[in-house]
Amino acid sequence: MPGASEIFNRLKKAVMGNPDKAEGAVDKAADTAKKATGGSYDEKIDKGANKATEYLRKQSQEDKQNKKK
């Protein structure tokens, strides 16, 4: 069974290779969390989802720049 670090590295590679899909997954996860909490934490969930999306976009841009070099 792979360790947490190996799983994280695999996830990171998948996300960097498919930033659009990763952003969609963040949106779905946020929607699911909102439903599960009954709307009590919508603001915090949105804030976290926005931060995650910003991070993914930044990483995607950096990845593209590194590939050009």
Q: Where do the domains of the chain lie?
A: 42-69
The phi-psi region of residue 54 (left if phi > 0; otherwise alpha if psi is between -120 and 50; otherwise beta) is alpha
Q: Is residue 38 predicted with pLDDT exceeding 70? A: yes
Query: Tokens 């590194």, residue?
Result: 66
pTM: 0.72
With a cut of 70, say whether residue 69 has pLDDT above it: no
pLDDT tier for residue 35 given thresholds of 50, 70 and 90 = very high
Q: Model confidence over 15-27: pLDDT tens digits?
A: 777 777 888 888 9
pLDDT score of 1 = 56
Q: What pLDDT score was predicted for residue 40?
A: 94
